[in-house]
Amino acid sequence: MKLNVLRNIILGISILVITFGIGYRVGQKSTSVSSSLSAVEIVGQTKGKNPTVDFSLFWDVWDRVGKYYIDKEKIDPQKMVYGAISGMVSSLGDPYTVFLPPTQNKEAKDDLGGKFEGIGAQLGVKEKKIVVIAPLKGTPAETAGIKSGDWIVKVDGKETLNWTVFEAVSKIRGPKGSSVELTIVHKDASSSSDIKVTRDTINVASVEWELKNLSCSSENNCKKVVYLKLSRFGDQTSEEWNKGISEILQALPGTASQTNDEIKGLVFDLRNNPGGYLAGSVFIASEFLKDGIVVKQESIRSGNQQYSVDRKGRLTSIPMVVLINKGTASAGEIVAGSLQERARAKLFGETTFGKGSVQEAQELEGGAGIHITTAKWLLPSGKWINGTGIEPDIAVTNDESKPEEDTQLLKALEYLIK
Catalytic residue numbers read 330, 355, 359
User: 151-155 and 129-135: which strand pairing?
Assistant: antiparallel
Q: What is the enclosing helix (H) or strand (E) of 363?
A: strand 357-363
Three-state DSSP class for 160?
coil
Fill in the DSSP letter of residue 360: E
Residues 6+ away with beta carbon under 8 Å from 261: 254
Q: Give the burial class of 174: count Cβ atoms within 10 A of its Cβ; 0-12 exposed, 13-18 middle, 19 or more buried.
A: middle
Cβ count near 257 (within 10 Å): 10
Cβ contacts of 331 within 8 Å, gap of 6 or more:
10, 12, 233, 273, 275, 276, 277, 278, 280, 281
CA distance 178 to 117: 10
| DSSP state, residue 65 | H
Q: How many CA atoms lie within 13 A of 78 on its CB side?
A: 7
Backbone φ and ψ of 412, nearest 5°: -65, -40
